[in-house]
Structure 1
C-alpha cells in the first residue's frame, strides 16, 4: 500500500497479511463459478485471500498479485497468523462497526480468516507462478491480458493514505491490463464512509467512454460496505 521503488521488498512489518475466502469473493463481487469459467482473471491486490487457490482447483484461470509476494510463502504465513490474532483482538473492541449475520461471531470470523490464509499460503508454495509480486500503480502484465479484474479492500479503503492521483494512476493501469471488466469492492473507507472522490472517479471513467455501474451486493460485514463498482470496457 506504499509506493516504493519497483522490485524492492516492502518491509514485512508494514504489510497486513489477512484475506477473504473464495465464497466471500463470489458474494462481494456478485459472481458465480459458472460466470467465471473460460475467463482469464486477475485478483489485484490479493493479499492472503483464497480466491486464487480455490478458484484454480475448481478449473478457473486466476492469477494473484500483491506487494506482499516479494516475501516467501513461509514468511507471509507466519506474518498472517500474527495479523489474524491482532485483528481479532481489535474486532472484539470494534464489534459495533460490523454486521454479524455473514459471520455469527468473532470466532467464526477467525476460522474463515485462518482458512483463507492456509489455502493461500499452501497454494503459493505449490503454484508460485500464480502469485506475482507487484508495486502499484505499475503492473508487469501485457495490455488486455486479463478478461476480468477484481480489486477488493484496497483503493477506496485507504483514501486517507492513497491520494486521488494514486487512485487514477492505478485505475489506468488496471484498465490497461483488462479486456472486459473491472469490479472494485467496497466503495467506502476504513471508517465506513463513502469514498469522498467517488463521483469524480466515476466521472473520469464515463468521460473516457467506460460504462460504470454501482451494484449493491449480498455481502455486508463492515457497515455500509455493501456495494461495488462495475466498470465495463467498450
Structure 2
C-alpha cells in the first residue's frame, strides 16, 4: 500500500463493516430487475453489502467503492463478524427505535447481516477488481461512467459529522460520474429526523438542471427512514 493510500484510509478499528442484502437494496431504492439489467451501476459507499455480488450475477455491471476497501477482504470479514456481534448486542437496548416488520426479530436481522457480509467477502475474493478503495468526496472514475449510482446510509444520515459543504461536494462528484441517475437512501439523520438541508440540496440540484423526486420506499427499519431521493440528469 502506498503512502498516499495509507494517509487516506481510516484505522480499521474506526470502520463499521456491516452491510445490507441485495433484497434490501432493491426495496430501499425502489428498483426492479428490469431497472438494473444491463446497466453500469456504482454502489457508493458500499460497505459489506451483497448487492454488487448478486446484481452482477443477474446481468448488471456493478462496481462497489468504499474507504474500507483499502483493507483486505479477510481483515474486513473478521471486522464485520465482530461488528455484527456488537451491533446485535446493542440492538436489544434500542429496539424501540426500529420498525420490526421487514425483520421479525433480532435473530432474523442477524441472519441477513451475516448473509450480506459472507456474499460480499466471497465476491471480494473472487472479483477484487469490483471493489475500489475511495475517500469521499473525490472519486477515481471518468465523467458519466455510470448509468445509475446508489448511495445508502451515508449522505444525510451522518449530518452530525458530515457538514453541508461535504454533502454538496459529494453530490457534485456523483453528478460528474453519473450518466443518468442517482438514488440516495434514506433522507433522515441518525435520530430519524429529515435532513435539515434537504430542501436546500433539492433546490441546488434543480438549479443544475436535474429532476428531483422524493419517493417512499418499500423498506423501513430505522423509524422514519423510508424515503429515497431520485436525481435524474436532463
- TM-score under structure 1 length normalisation: 0.97
Moved more, 5-14 or 209-218: 5-14
Equivalent residue number for residue 136 of structure 1: 136
Moved over 6 A (4+): none
Equivalent positions of 1:60-139 (< 5 A) are: 60-139=60-139
- How many residues align? The count is 230
Shift of 1:6: 5.7
Q: CA deviation at 1:207?
A: 1.2
Quick check: 1:22–1:49 contact (8 Å CA) kept in 2?
Answer: yes
SS at match of 1:48: coil
Q: Measure, in 2, the Cα distance between the counterparts of 1:189 and 1:27.
A: 19
Instruction: Measure, in 2, the Cα distance between the counterparts of 1:84 and 1:222.
Output: 16
Q: Cα offset for 1:35?
A: 1.4
- SS in structure 1 at match of 2:155: coil
Displacement, 1:165? 0.1
Distance in 1 (alpha carbons) for counterparts of 2:193 and 2:138: 27
Gaps of 5+ in 2: none
1:1-234 → structure 2 map (5 Å cutoff): 7-8=5-6, 9-234=9-234
2-structure distance, mates of 1:149, 1:33: 15
Preserved contact between residue 124 and residue 131 of structure 1 (Cα < 8 Å): yes
CA RMSD, 1 decimal: 0.9
Give the Cα separation in 2 of the matches to 1:131 and 1:37. Answer: 20
Shift, 1:7, TM fit: 2.3
Give the TM-score of the pair, scaled to structure 2: 0.97
